[in-house]
């Protein structure tokens, strides 16, 4: 298996953060990301970029982090006990964008690299990440575009990649306690190393590069859609599901907190406003009920 080039991965991730922030600032049209660089006492650091009260985005964050230490936290080694006792490096770009307009979906993307080493043994490394979309008011054209862009990013690496990562995403972004998906999915992958370093790195880059062409056209199509208090209330209700997933299930959140990461950067993915109503249910045959009846049903979005 080819030897990982850690410097090349870091260089790509820093450039990806720059390119994504530039594209999202251009889409927003009003606000810029503010940057907050930080150091981790146990080793490493990062740069957090946040946009607030923009023309499009109520809140959004695009994080780069590179942390290292003497032992992986439990969230990373639980399903791979052979990694216990190894030193590690972890780096990645992670982002969540929460729009103002309820007709623009929330989006999430993440690409990351882990390597765990022990003297006298081969390093253990892998890539992970993906992107997924969480609409409040679904649109078939948006879902089709999102998934077609995802498929196009995967296809050069094998026709089996998209359906496998799509299913993995559907399974991962699922709220078991609510018995419902978080959104309409996209791609999710982890433990990727079977292609060798160069090809695995290329696949990770293809997926990272696909986020902007997947999301920005949806922003542009939906931004002019008028909305009122009813739509805003529903958006805040559904954001509650987003918070629940991130705090209960998300591997990145758990890894960051357990590894002594920077709490402000880890929790920048949470929306600025959210609502939990007791036993709330949508009115039958409403726009809101359509989300549950059609869009929160895993399906082949390429054929809707």
Determine if residue 286 is labeled as part of a ligand binding site.
Answer: no
Predicted local distance difference test score (pLDDT) of residue 80: 72
Q: Which pTM was predicted?
A: 0.93
> What is the 3-class SS of 196-218, one letter each residue?
CHHHHHHHHHHHHHHHHHHHHHH
User: Could you give the 3-state DSSP secondary structure of residue 91?
Assistant: strand
> Cα separation of 157 and 145, whole Å?
20
115 within a domain of the structure (yes/no)? yes
Name the residue among 80, 106, 79, 83 with its Cα closest to residue 95: 106
User: Which pLDDT tens digit goes with each residue over 209-233?
Assistant: 999 999 999 999 999 999 999 999 9
150 within a domain of the structure (yes/no)? yes
Determine if residue 182 is labeled as part of a ligand binding site.
Answer: no
Q: State which H helix or E strand residue 113 sits in.
A: strand 106-117
Cβ neighbourhood burial of 282 (10 Å; 0-12, 13-18, 19+): middle
Q: Which of the four pLDDT bands, split at 50, 70 and 90, describes residue 117?
A: confident
1 within a domain of the structure (yes/no)? no
Residue 261 has pLDDT above 80, yes or no: no
Sheet holding 87-99, edge to edge: 34-39, 44-52, 57-69, 87-99, 106-117, 124-134, 185-192
Predicted local distance difference test score (pLDDT) of residue 43: 87
Q: Between 225 and 80, where is the model more confident?
A: 225
C-alpha distances in Å from residue 74, one per residue of 44, 46, 221, 232: 19, 22, 42, 38
Classify residue 107 by its DSSP letter.
Answer: E
303 within a domain of the structure (yes/no)? no
Determine if residue 193 is labeled as part of a ligand binding site.
Answer: no
> Cα separation of 192 and 213, whole Å?
23
The alpha carbon dihedral of 165, 91, 246, 138 has a sign of negative
Q: Which domain holds residue 235?
A: 6-295
Predicted local distance difference test score (pLDDT) of residue 237: 97
Does 66 participate in catalysis according to the annotation? no
Residue 81 has pLDDT above 90, yes or no: no
301 within a domain of the structure (yes/no)? no
> Cα separation of 266 and 252, whole Å?
8
Residue 45 tokens read as 């650091």
> Cα separation of 263 and 268, whole Å?
8
User: Which pLDDT tens digit goes with each residue over 6-45?
Assistant: 999 999 999 999 999 999 999 999 999 999 999 888 889 9
73 within a domain of the structure (yes/no)? yes
**Residue among 108, 145, 237, 294 flagged as catalytic:** 108
Q: What angle, rounded to 10 degrees, do the helices at 197-222 and 140-154 form?
A: 160
Predicted local distance difference test score (pLDDT) of residue 265: 82
Predicted local distance difference test score (pLDDT) of residue 174: 97
Determine if residue 238 is labeled as part of a ligand binding site.
Answer: no
302 within a domain of the structure (yes/no)? no
> Cα separation of 99 and 219, whole Å?
9
300 within a domain of the structure (yes/no)? no
User: Which pLDDT tens digit goes with each residue over 138-196?
Assistant: 999 999 999 999 999 999 999 999 999 999 999 999 999 999 999 999 999 999 999 99
User: Residue 199 sits in a domain of what CATH number?
Assistant: 3.40.1500.10
What are the beta bridge partners of residue 94?
Answer: 63, 110
Determine if residue 177 is labeled as part of a ligand binding site.
Answer: yes
Determine if residue 110 is labeled as part of a ligand binding site.
Answer: yes
Task: Please give the mean pLDDT across all residues of the chain.
Answer: 93
Q: Which of the four pLDDT bands, split at 50, 70 and 90, describes residue 82?
A: confident
Q: How many domains does the chain have?
A: 1
Q: What's the chain's length in residues?
A: 304
Predicted local distance difference test score (pLDDT) of residue 74: 67
> Cα separation of 168 and 230, whole Å?
33
212: left (phi over 0), alpha (psi -120 to 50) or beta: alpha
Determine if residue 147 is labeled as part of a ligand binding site.
Answer: yes
Residue 114 · residue 141 · CB < 8 Å? no
């Amino acid at each position: 298996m080819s030897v990982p080039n850690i410097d090349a991965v870091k260089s790509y991730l820093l450039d990806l953060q720059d390119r994504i922030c530039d594209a999202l600032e251009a889409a927003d049209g009003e606000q810029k990301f503010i940057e907050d660089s930080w150091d981790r006492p146990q080793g490493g650091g990062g740069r957090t970029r946040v946009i607030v009260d923009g023309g499009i985005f109520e809140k959004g964050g695009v994080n780069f982090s590179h942390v290292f230490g003497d032992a992986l936290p439990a969230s990373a080694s639980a399903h791979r006990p052979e990694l216990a006792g190894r030193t590690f490096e972890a780096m990645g770009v992670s982002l969540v964008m929460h729009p103002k307009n309820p007709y623009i979906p929330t989006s999430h993307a993440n690409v990351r690299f882990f390597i765990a080493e022990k003297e006298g043994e081969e390093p253990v490394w892998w890539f992970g990440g993906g992107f997924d979309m969480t609409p409040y008011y679904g649109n078939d054209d948006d879902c089709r575009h999102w998934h077609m862009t995802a498929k196009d990013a995967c296809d050069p690496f094998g026709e089996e990649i998209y359906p496998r990562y799509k299913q993995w995403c559907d399974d991962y972004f699922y709220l078991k306690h609510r018995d419902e998906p978080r959104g309409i999915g996209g791609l999710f992958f982890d433990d990727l190393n079977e292609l060798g370093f160069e090809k695995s790195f290329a696949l990770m880059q293809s997926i990272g590069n696909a986020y902007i062409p997947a999301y920005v056209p949806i922003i542009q199509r939906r931004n002019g859609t008028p909305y009122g208090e009813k739509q805003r209330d529903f958006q805040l209700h559904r954001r509650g599901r987003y918070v629940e997933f991130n705090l209960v299930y998300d591997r990145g959140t758990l890894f960051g907190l357990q590894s002594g990461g920077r709490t402000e950067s880890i929790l920048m993915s949470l929306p600025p406003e959210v609502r939990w109503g007791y036993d709330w249910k949508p009115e039958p045959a409403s726009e809101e009920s359509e989300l549950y009846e059609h869009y929160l049903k895993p399906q082949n979005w390429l054929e809707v």
